[in-house]
Amino acid sequence: MTHLVSRKQSLTDWQRVQLAQLEYHDWHLGEDILLPDGQLIGEVIKVIWMADGFRATVIRSAAYPQIIVLFRGSSGVRKGDPTTWTNEWLRVNLPIGNAIINQVPDVPQELWTASKEFNHLLASYPQMTFFLYGHSLGSINAQFALANCHYPERISAAYLYEGPNLYWLLDAKQRQTTTLLRCQIFNYIDPLDVVALGYIDMEHTIGLLRVIDSMMTSPINQHMWGGYQFDKQQNLLLENDFWQNRRAQIDQRLITAVQKLNQNNDEWER
């Protein structure tokens, strides 16, 4: 049998990105999950699709006592349906962006659903360790689910891509949980992707921040891993001087400017 995902994470960076991209596929129970290079990941054992828009695919490894959860991201303008705008943008993405900029704990219902469903999975498979993957909205839901995780000792690793920094929305208890999981969470962002906002330093983040040494492409393609670059060993190319990058400075100035504007509005209302 083809070697599957192990606790030592046998997948390369490129393979993990390919696996995360499969979160956008409409999977069915019993289907095998295969990477483009033919590597078998496992079998779909549950497909979650909730009324508030939360979606995830649950995979069981055939060779190891492990569960892989693919948190689905936003369908977007290319593959969206009539619920995309209401469920994903108006109810979640736009409020999250506003909450991060204003640094107020305004959490949409879908994130609480993600936490509840993830903890239910953990309780349903007590002998299993878990791997999480999420992109964009999938990263948002995965970050919040990890912050509310009831069994942090059973998280092997989480690979998150192009999500905004949810740290600013967490309370003290949730931040404590993400601190416990810090070395299990790998949070990848492309500094040219406008969706991945709110990262202003290395400390106020969920997990270990990994900044991509990206190439510029079109805005939608940039968000969909289009700027990612790999070496011959399929390792992601990372940027070492992100905090000198103008994007980090722009995020800080944006947050500061909006907070000042809101403060001035409050003073006028008085």
* Cα–Cα distance, 189 to 170 (Å, whole number): 20
Interval 216-256: pLDDT, tens: 998 889 989 999 999 999 999 998 776 555 555 556 655 66
Picking from 182, 188, 200, 209, the residue whose alpha carbon sits closest to that of residue 245 is 200
The burial of 93, by beta-carbon neighbours within 10 Å (0-12 exposed, 13-18 middle, 19 or more buried), is given as buried
pLDDT of residue 106: 73
pTM: 0.83
Can you count the helices (H) and strands (E) in the chain? 8, 8
The residue ranges of the chain whose pLDDT is under 70 are 1-9, 75-105, 242-270
pLDDT of residue 264: 53
Cα Rg of the chain (Å, integer): 18
Per-residue CA distances from 177 to 57, 99, 116 (Å): 24, 21, 16
- Contact in structure between 110 and 95 (CB atoms under 8 Å): no
pLDDT of residue 149: 98
- Contact in structure between 34 and 21 (CB atoms under 8 Å): no
pLDDT of residue 66: 97
Picking from 73, 75, 41, the residue whose alpha carbon sits closest to that of residue 58 is 41
pLDDT of residue 75: 67
Q: Which 3 state secondary structure label does DSSP give 254?
A: helix
Picking from 87, 192, 223, the residue whose alpha carbon sits closest to that of residue 95 is 87
Q: Which CATH architecture has domain 13-36+46-241?
A: 3-Layer(aba) Sandwich (3.40)
